[in-house]
Amino acid sequence: MDYARFVRLRRPIWDRFEAQLAAPEKAMTHAELEDMALCYRQVLHDHALAATRYPGTAATQRLRGLAVEGTRRLGGGRPDKAAGLGEFFGRTFPRAFRRQLPMTGIALALFLLAGFWGLALTTMKPGLGIAFLGPDAVSGLADGKLWTESLVSAVPPAVSSSRIATNNISVALSAWSGGILAGIVPLYIVLLNGLLLGSILGLTLHYSMAGELLEFISAHGPLEISLILVSAGAGLCIGRALVVSGDRPRSLAVRDAARDALTVLLGCVPWFVVLALVEVLISPSPELPAPFKLAVGLSLEALFLALAAFPGRTPETP
């Protein structure tokens, strides 16, 4: 299906869902809420499809916004301020995270496999690096300069961090919502990111610039990769529920998987914001020594895993 036909056929559903989001929540009947939930699922499906086939288009941007707003509207009641946030990050998020660890492990294995494949390809044929980085970046490597030096220097840090956070959250959202396509989109994101990282590392090795690259990514890279893999694992859980529901009704399996996946995604969002600040203020700074950057990266990774893997002892809600 071409882009124009896709938009023409699906736009009525998007318009209806947008109108439902604009309606007062308390004024909606039970039947209207059910119809809104149906439109929400269709919007998620369309966003996953658009993000894969028509990335960067206006329809993809609109669907991303509708998906985020729909998730906020249908995700449940408002938390009781600080107590609700403490309950979420101390108990709800870690439990959902642990339930999805098997699929996150599969995402990690595929990421490493793609990374080694990309490393081998560019090690044997460095000319392939132009396809991943472009001729200007490769020319800079030949002159002993990393392309990362100009990533954030041309704009204010606040703008750079906002762009980085938005991009990373968009990747995570695509990996999560793409699970509704039987897990194809999160698999694609995992394999693509692994291939890119391995290929770039192999290319910098060829030009004896791998040390500089590893220094640049040491502060933000470990946690950034982890968050993308966790989001992809959440999407894979939805895909698994669609394909293999076990002895439960498929609708129930998908509902439970989607609820856990949404919890995991929301728990990862604040960390993307922290990473954006690190990537702007710490990673490119030549004044900061490499051991300090590595310590920041490992500390962030350890803190995230500690908070995500072990539920707190907050009291049960009645």
Does the pTM surpass 0.85? The reply is no
Domain ranges of the chain: 3-73, 96-309
Q: What is the pLDDT of residues 274-314, one digit of tens each?
A: 888 888 788 888 888 989 999 999 999 999 999 888 765 54
Compute the distance between CA of residue 227 and CA of residue 170 in angstroms, rounded to an integer. Answer: 12
Q: What is the pLDDT of residues 86-125, one digit of tens each?
A: 778 888 889 889 988 999 999 999 999 999 998 998 888 8
CA dihedral over 249, 253, 47, 179, signed as positive or negative = negative
Q: Side-chain half-sphere of 39: how many Cα atoms within 13 Å?
A: 24
Start-end of H helices in 75-149: 81-87, 93-99, 101-124, 129-133, 135-142
Give the residue from 15, 73, 25 showing the smallest Cα distance to 46.
15
Compute the distance between CA of residue 160 and CA of residue 151 in angstroms, rounded to an integer. Answer: 9
